[in-house]
Amino acid sequence: MQLRYCKQSLAIAWWQLRHQKAQTLAAIVGIAFTTVLLFMQIGFRSSFIGSLVQFPKSFDCDIFIVSASSVTVLRPLPFSERRLYQVLGVEGVESVSPTYINSFLWRDPRDRSLFLRQVMGIGFPLNSRFFEAPGVADNLDKLKLNKSVLIDERSRPEFAPIIDLFRQQGKTIEEIKTSSQGGLHRIKVVGLFELGTSTSFDASIVMSKSTFLSLFDRHPSQIDWGLVRVKPGYDVDEVTERIREYLPNDVRAFSKADVLNKERNFYEYRTPLGLIFRFGLLASVVVGIIILYQILYVKIAQSIQEYATLKAMGYSQQALTLVVIGEASILAVSGYIPGFLASCWMYEFLETATQMIFVMRLDVAIAVLVSISFICFVSGGLAVGKLKEADPADIFG
Amino acid sequence: MDAIAIVEKLNYYYPEGKGERQVLFDINLSIFPGEVIILTGESGSGKTTLLTLIGCLRSMREGSLKIFGEELLNASEKKRMTLRRRIGYIFQHFNLFEFMTVGQNVQSSLVHEKMLPAQARQQTQDLLTAVGLGDRLNSYPRELSGGQKQRVAISRALVHEPKLILADEPTAALDSETGRDVVNLIRNLAKDKGSAVLIVTHDRRILDIADRIVRIEDGKLITAYREEMTLALPTIEDQYFKQLEGKYQTKDFDPGEIVIDEGDDADTFYVIVEGIFEAVKIVPDSPPKLLRQMHKNEYFGEIGLLTPGSKRTATVRVSEDAPGKAIAIDRETFASLVKDSELTYAAVSHQLRKRLTDPEMGENDPNV
Ligand SMILES: Nc1ncnc2c1ncn2[C@@H]1O[C@H](COP(=O)(O)OP(=O)(O)O)[C@@H](O)[C@H]1O
Ligand SMILES: [Mg+2]
């Protein structure tokens, strides 16, 4: 189509939108709302997955070794420490370290008859230097004292009183419960570190291996993760493969990249959460399409006589289609912009409210823009069918 | 001169129930450049249908229809669309784009022309100034009166200088004075550019702007004698024409054929529909002396009828160049027409007086 026709079609689109201001405004609000919905879904999803992998990501290692019975790397079952030291014999392995993980309950400081759930305890030999979450390295000395722990300052708000108390006093004695029968212990919070929460834990603490073993009544030879660092110049996947061949199959080895991917995929495809996310995304897109289709359809129906007149004047079907698509595109862009701004504000709000990570990432912003454009093109494409009813033979009617 | 539109043996059918119903029967019509044709007929007689067919707005069924030399029978939708760009359309309800300003409305017709935007704006501005709306370029249609809207619509239909302009009941939504102004405007603008105009109308008050009137009755095209007579006898009232129904004949004459011989009994009154008629005095041994040339919408033979028993005072014949057609009304009908309608009598006397005061014609008038 020639340029002057394109220009005229887009001008008509703009004039029509400007003419029916209330309707146009309603359409823009609808699209802005859809934009916010999409950003929320994607934001929650990537923040959820991001916070899930935040934990394994914080370990400076190349390979994880877990018990073959573990469903995911993040929900490990203990295995024998011997397996880990066997790995030192594999070519390309530089160093190894065990990590201990267990969840427990925390006496609620606001109501001492209750316990806060979903707290994760992380233990490691203090000299191992594998856990790299900010704040850990600076406070290692304080952990040498028995039953001393660091608490994650990005824990959920219900843990805020504990953190506040620590900040006021420089330390605080807390009571925890590590097993269903008994298992009550006092611990001393001696410092803070930063990790962030996920759906599977609301708060976490780090401690030395010996503190961990005594709190959780664990046999010293039973570890949850074996961490492996590969020598520079060696390919991580090759070394992982070699470890797999070397070890008996009661344990499994995964490269860190693999763990992160597996973890993402597990939540994406094996838990209802992933399904809910995908369904939510699809539902937002469908709702967006329906809203916009409805608006465009009504607009065309109202202007059917005008479209017929344009056809009588020799405007082509393509030119009129471009009018509708032009309207859809203008609505898309002018709905996306306020939707985007609202989402930025929502992300900030949610980050403080949930202590999960909500970042407005460029690729997500573009992906949402693409989705909105998709919505506009599909609804525009559907609404264009209505144009066929504009029959120039009716104009004299 | 090549015709702009030639309709031949055109039939058209609308689907009805399981079958179809014929609404146009064997239509033949040619439209020539610069011509203003009025198409009348009862409501439902098929006027709009014919207009949409000529306007390339509807696909043809049977017969032949050539617009700008292009056959429309079996023409593609694309071809019709391209032809439509060379036609101007004027509507009863104006069909302006409510969301565009007056200027944008008019300029929307120029999108098909290869011209610079500045030139398109200038052309729009000039035409709107010519129709008296030069200062309303940025108004919206809703701010205008009916007459102003129709003038915008006319500008939109004419700005790209189409050689064919089609109008369906352009005055129906306007008061009579505004309606008149509007059709005069259409006529004048079209004449300036040599465009042909086809106007569908019921409005008898605007018939006089036509060069030719045709009428559809039950889907068949006929010459609109009644309307032609209205033009010839503008003061006659409708009700008298109703009485005339069936009491007149149309007669075709060959070039040069004698209509009235001097000395005959005066028993018929003629209104010219087509061709040129000449009143002559036959002088023995020399060529006939031309007294007067008469054209369409003029009439002759009335004076003899006003005085019973008189004879024709001159010979009337058809010009040698072309055939002629006239409506013939007998003495009795004419008498009743004149008796019942003083206005007609006034009109007749007016024409008579005009001829008498014309010094050269007066003394030799065939009817005196
Ligand atoms: N789209 C249509 N479908 C079926 N019949 C129609 C349609 N348009 C007009 N007609 C019928 O065709 C006849 C002629 O209509 P039309 O051309 O509109 O007449 P006019 O313009 O002289 O009033 C009428 O009987 C009318 O009912
Ligand atoms: Mg009609």
- Per residue in A23-53, pLDDT (tens digit) is 999 999 999 999 999 999 888 888 877 877 8
A306/B contact by beta carbon, under 8 A? yes
pTM over 0.80: no
Question: Residue A199 — pLDDT band, cuts 50, 70, 90?
Answer: confident
Q: For residue range A105-124, what is the model confidence (pLDDT) as tens digits? A: 999 888 888 888 889 999 99
A383 with A293: CB under 8 angstroms?
yes
Choose among B85, B79, B77, B121: nearest CA to B103.
Answer: B121
| pLDDT score, position B56 | 95
pLDDT per residue as tens digits for the range B295-333:
887 888 877 776 777 788 888 999 888 888 888 888 777
pLDDT at B243 over 70: no
In 3D space, the residue among B97, B201, B95, B112 whose CA is nearest the CA of residue B159 turns out to be B112
- CB within 8 Å of A392: residues ≥ 6 apart: A308, A309, A311, A312, B52, B57, B84
Q: Give the tens place of pLDDT for each residue, A153-169.
A: 988 888 999 999 999 99
Contact B95 A306 (CB under 8 A): yes
Q: What pLDDT does residue A379 have?
A: 94
Number of H helices, E strands in chain B: 12, 18
d(CA A326, CA A332): 10
Residue B88, beta-bridge partner list: B165
- Tokens for B110, please give them: 């120029």
Q: Does the distance separating the beta carbons of A392 and B57 come in below 8 Å?
A: yes
Mean pLDDT over B71-87 rounds to: 95
Return the structure tokens found at B200. 């569908």
Could you tell me which residue, B41 or A183, shows the higher pLDDT?
A: B41
C-beta atoms of B89 and A5 within 8 A: no
- pLDDT on residue B344: 60
Question: Per-residue pLDDT tens for B201-217?
Answer: 988 888 888 888 888 98
Q: Is B13 on the interface with A (CB under 8 A)?
A: no
Query: What digits encode the pLDDT tens for the residues A51-60?
Result: 778 888 899 9
Decide if A311 and B81 are in contact by the 8 Å CB cutoff.
yes
Across chain A, the runs of DSSP E, i.e. the strands, are 63-67, 79-80, 93-107, 115-124, 148-152, 172-177, 184-193, 203-208, 222-223, 225-230, 251-255
Candidates A77, A388, A53; CA nearest to A198 is A53
Q: Is the pLDDT of residue B221 over 80?
A: yes
- Lookup: tokens for B151: 């003038």
- The stretch A320-332 carries a mean pLDDT of 94
In this prediction, residue B203 carries a pLDDT of 84
C-alpha–C-alpha distance, residues B34 and B31, integer Å: 9
CB of B297 shorter than 6 A to ligand 1: no
Residue B201 CB less than 6 A away from ligand 1: no
In this structure, are strands A172-177 and A115-124 parallel, antiparallel, or unpaired? unpaired
- Amino acid occupying residue A184: L
Mutation for B interface: A304, A313, A391, A394, most B CBs within 10 A? A313
| Rounded Cα–Cα distance for residues A286 and A291 (Å) | 9
pLDDT at B179: 92
* CB-neighbour burial class of residue A142 (10 A; exposed 0-12, middle 13-18, buried 19+): middle
pLDDT over 90 (residue A342): yes
Amino acid letter, A328: A
Residues whose CB falls within 8 Å of the CB of residue B231, separated by 6 or more in sequence, listed in order: B207, B208, B210, B213, B297
Residue with tokens 């070890």: A247
pLDDT score of A136 more than 50: yes
User: CA A336, CA A332: separation in Å to the nearest integer?
Assistant: 6
Q: Does the CB of A312 have a partner CB in chain B at under 8 Å? A: yes
pLDDT of residue B360: 42
Tell me which residue of B41, B37, B48, B66 sits closest to B12, measured CA to CA: B48
Question: Using 50, 70 and 90 to split pLDDT, how confident is the model at B182?
Answer: very high
How many percent of chain B have pLDDT more than 70?
A: 84
Strand segments, DSSP code E, in A139-183 are 148-152, 172-177
Residue B361: which pLDDT band, with cuts at 50, 70 and 90? very low
- Percentage of chain B beyond pLDDT 90 is 53
Judging contacts by C-beta atoms under 8 Å, the chain A residues touching residue B98 are 19, 306
Contacts of B277 (CB under 8 A, 6+ apart): B259, B270, B293, B294, B295, B298, B300, B316, B317, B318, B319, B324, B326
Ligand 1 closest atom vs CA B43: 23
Overall average pLDDT of the A362-386 stretch: 92
A49, two tokens: 């997955």
Could you write out the DSSP letters of every residue in B111-148? GGS---HHHHHHHHHHHHHHTT-TT-TT--GGGS-HHH
| pLDDT reported for residue B238 | 60
pLDDT of residue B346: 61
Nearest to B57 among A19, A315, A395 (CB): A395
What per-residue confidence (pLDDT) applies to B213? Answer: 87
CA distances to A54, A88, A310, B200 from A390, rounded to whole Å, are 57, 78, 9, 23
Q: What is the mean pLDDT of chain A?
A: 90
| Cβ partners under 8 Å of residue A170, min gap 6 | none
Question: Does the pLDDT of residue B359 top 70, yes or no?
Answer: no
A28, HSE (Cβ side, Cα atoms, 13 Å): 16
pLDDT digits (tens, 9 = 90+) for A346-367: 999 988 887 777 888 898 899 9
* CB environment B12-38: b (16+ within 10 A), e (fewer): beeeeeeeeeebbbebebebeebbbbb
Helix (H) or strand (E) holding A35: helix A21-57
In contact, B140 and B104? CB cutoff 8 Å: no
Residue scoring higher pLDDT (A87 or A264): A87
Residue by residue, what is the 3-state secondary structure of B38-62? EEEECCCCCHHHHHHHHCCCCCCCE
Q: Is the pLDDT of residue B14 over 60?
A: yes
Query: Does any ligand 1 atom lie closer than 6 A to the CB of residue B44?
Result: yes
Q: What distance in Å separates residue A1's CA from the closest CA in chain B?
A: 12
In chain A, the N- to C-terminal Cα span, in Å, equals 30
Q: Is the ipTM of this structure higher than 0.90? A: no
Q: Other C-beta atoms within 10 Å of B132: how many?
A: 13
CB contact under 8 A, A396 and B51: yes
CA distance A322 to chain B (A): 15
The whole-number average pLDDT for the span A360-375 is: 91
- What does each C-alpha distance from B241 to A249, B227, B228, B297, B352 come to in angstroms? 112, 9, 11, 16, 22
- Alpha-carbon distance A36 to A221, whole Å? 50
Whether B246 shows a pLDDT value over 80: the answer reads no
State which H helix or E strand residue B11 sits in. strand B5-16
Residue B67 is classified by DSSP as E
Distance CA A147, CA A143 (A): 8
- How much is the average pLDDT of B145-165? 95
* B245 contacts: CB under 8 Å, gap ≥ 6: B226
Residue A312 alpha carbon to ligand 1 centre in Å: 18
Per-residue confidence (pLDDT) for residue B366, from 0 to 100: 45
pLDDT at B234: 63
Residue nearest to atom 20 of ligand 1 (CA): B44
